[in-house]
Amino acid sequence: MVRGLLQGLGHRRELITETLIPGSANTRRWLNVGCMVAHAPKERVVGYVRVSSDAQAEQGVSLDAQREKLKAYALALDLELVAIVEDAGYSAKTLKRPGLQVALEHLTEGRASGLLVAKLDRLTRSVRDLGDLVEGYFAVPFSLVSVADSIDTRSAAGRLVLNVLTSVAQWEREATGERTREALGHLKGRGVRLGGAALGWARTDERDAEGRRVVVELDDERTTIERIVTLRREGRTLAGIAAILEEEGRPTKHGGRRWYPVTVSRVVRRAEAAASSAAGTPAAT
């Protein structure tokens, strides 16, 4: 009887020890436990695969390769793979992917209790999106299993790995932000114009002695600025100036015909700041 049960349990035979004596109370107790485990339902998971380009398929991360990994992993962990959902040609920069939404619906609608991916970057490359997924799905009650990253949030160790990866990625993003701010501050200190050219100006391909692109005035746009300043001095409202510019058919910086009060306000502030700087007096706020 013990031998037959061992054969039926397969890889779960560790539940039965060789030291048990047939007919004893211990034997009956362990046989009952073994039968309960043998008939325990498998955990249901939904697989998710993604590639963003044809080049990735040539580098060994094709959809078929990912599917095979998920099937093999599910078999090894005795998981029931209810479905494999794909996103072909979608970037991981956003969570607005049709396949991913279907996979998440499998969780929320009770068809699966966990999400299985070949690698975490197949799910997302965004630290913010990963945090949203963990908070909304994988903290509780659903699990996340990533084959290549050895992440399995069904265990405390798996949750620890995921938290460490999330924390490191968050640190990297913040460090990158700090370096960017320092670099921009340095450029501003050197007088480098940042962002797009304002109305009345344009950047050329010519470079100055320090490698910066030369900025030149545009006569047509300067005329529009002068017109705005004149109307403002006459007491016109920002909305009124915008309406007049549209009636006169004056184009915006990007060639549009629609003017907004906030756009007029920016032009007025820049003109006042330039005039105050030239006169050596602080601009009005």
Active site residue 265: no
Length of the chain as a residue count = 285
* Nearest residue to 47 via CA among 78, 81, 13: 81
What's the token pair of residue 241? 């100036």
Q: What is the 3-state secondary structure (H, E, C) of the chain?
A: CHHHHHHHHHHHHHHCCCCCCCCCHHHHHHHHHHHHHHCCCCEEEEEEEEECCHHHHHCCCCHHHHHHHHHHHHHHCCEEEEEEEEEECCCCCCCCCHHHHHHHHHHHCCCCCEEEECCHHHHCCCHHHHHHHHHHHHCCCCEEEECCCCEECCCHHHHHHHHHHHHHHHHHHHHHHHHHHHHHHHHHHCCCCCCCCCCCEEEEEEECCCCCEEEEECHHHHHHHHHHHHHHHCCCCHHHHHHHHHHCCCCCCCCCCCCCHHHHHHHHHHHHHHHHHHHCCCCCC
Q: Which one from 52, 62, 126, 265 is the annotated catalytic residue?
A: 52
Active site residues: 52
